């Protein structure tokens, strides 16, 4: 595996590989790799000739009061994990390499940002879309792999790829969880031990919601109350949002039918966690996938 730190060198390598008709699988991350990232890498390894992993903690997608400075980082460990998973290239640019001067152009996301993390984190998805545009132009992937843990991001990236005509296939990958159900996240290390115990209820509340919908409940507010009450009674966390929307459109629902997402964000003392469950709901009772 080669570590590359400059855009120019990465582009030169990719152009060489493309001239040999190699397919390129790309996994963009912010590092501090865990099983979730490695699952994306494994998928990319299966589907492509060449696998590129990027590690870049993108300042543009963090708000001024968010955890950019304390975001966990461990490059040496990431490097050996990426190597073990068979990545061919690790693209690891500095902030100065990615943003050498104040930007004269940036990408603004117009749809799906007035809800969920887009609403709580103003500018977050503009930062994500801007960095991905730069990364896509650098790595020029055939396929790009994104986790459904960030389901709103998957929907936004689908819009970016379509609207900007990137010749890239977007591959969404299922959420990887700890044994007790907590969605794997680099940020989990910043939970206090008691918060880590409490955080189990996030996924528990989503599965209870799913079971309740399977039992016939179709009122979004009833389900939101159920999830919120479970989180309030079993954690000290502060609920940022608990919402149900159509997926991937992210539109409000009067009744739960059709593909939908139940998504939540909860702030603990040093870390804000997100989780979600995507359901196929049909009108019949029990009709949930």
37 in catalytic set: yes
Residue 121 interacts with ligand AMP (CB under 6 A)?
no
Residue 127 interacts with ligand AMP (CB under 6 A)?
no
Spot the catalytic one: 34, 37, 101, 124.
37
Residue 184 interacts with ligand AMP (CB under 6 A)?
yes
Which of 186, 205, 235, 276 binds ligand AMP (CB under 6 A)? It is 186
From residue 86, alpha-carbon distances to 25, 169, 185 in Å are: 12, 21, 21
Residue 175 interacts with ligand AMP (CB under 6 A)?
yes
**How far is the C-alpha of 12 from the C-alpha of 175, rounded, in Å?**
33
Would you give the end-to-end CA distance of the chain in angstroms?
Answer: 40
* Interface stretch with ligand AMP, choices 1-9, 37-45, 234-242, 271-279 (CB under 6 A): 37-45
Residue 78 interacts with ligand AMP (CB under 6 A)?
no
Numbers of helices and strands, H then E, in the chain: 10, 9
- The residues, any chain, with a CB within 8 Å of residue 42's CB and separated by 6 or more, are 85
Q: What is the DSSP letter of 286?
A: T
Binding residues for ligand AMP restricted to 142-171, rule: CB under 6 A: 146-147, 149-150
Q: Which residue is nearest to ligand AMP (CB)?
A: 147
**How far is the C-alpha of 89 from the C-alpha of 51, rounded, in Å?**
7
Catalytic residue numbers, as ranges = 37
* Residues at the site binding ligand AMP, with contacts judged by CB under 6 A: 29-30, 36-37, 39-40, 146-147, 149-150, 173, 175-176, 183-186
């Amino acid at each position: 595996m080669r570590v590359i730190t400059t855009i120019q060198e990465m582009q030169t390598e990719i152009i060489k590989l493309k001239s040999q008709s190699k397919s390129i699988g790309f996994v963009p991350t912010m590092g501090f790799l865990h099983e979730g990232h490695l699952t994306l890498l494994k998928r990319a390894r299966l589907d492509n000739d060449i696998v590129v992993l990027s590690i870049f903690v993108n300042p543009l997608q963090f708000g001024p009061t968010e955890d950019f400075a304390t975001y966990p980082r461990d490059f040496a460990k990431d490097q050996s994990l990426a190597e073990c998973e068979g990545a061919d290239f690790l693209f690891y640019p500095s902030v100065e390499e990615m943003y050498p001067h104040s930007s004269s152009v940036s990408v603004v996301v117009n749809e799906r940002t007035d809800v969920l993390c887009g609403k709580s984190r103003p500018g977050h998805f503009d930062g994500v879309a801007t960095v991905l545009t730069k990364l896509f132009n650098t790595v020029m992937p055939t396929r790009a792999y994104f986790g459904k843990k960030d389901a709103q991001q998957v929907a936004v990236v689908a819009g970016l790829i379509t609207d900007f005509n990137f010749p890239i296939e977007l591959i969404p990958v299922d959420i990887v969880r700890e044994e007790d159900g907590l969605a794997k996240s680099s940020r989990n290390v910043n939970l206090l031990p008691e918060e880590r115990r409490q955080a189990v209820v996030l996924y528990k509340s989503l599965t209870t919601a799913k079971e309740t919908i399977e039992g016939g409940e179709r009122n979004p507010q009833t389900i939101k109350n159920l999830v919120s009450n479970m989180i309030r009674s079993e954690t000290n966390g502060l609920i940022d949002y608990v919402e149900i929307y159509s997926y991937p459109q992210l539109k409000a629902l009067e009744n739960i039918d059709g593909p939908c997402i139940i998504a939540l964000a909860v702030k603990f003392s040093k870390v804000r966690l997100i989780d979600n469950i995507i359901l196929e709901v049909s009108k019949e009772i029990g009709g949930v996938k």
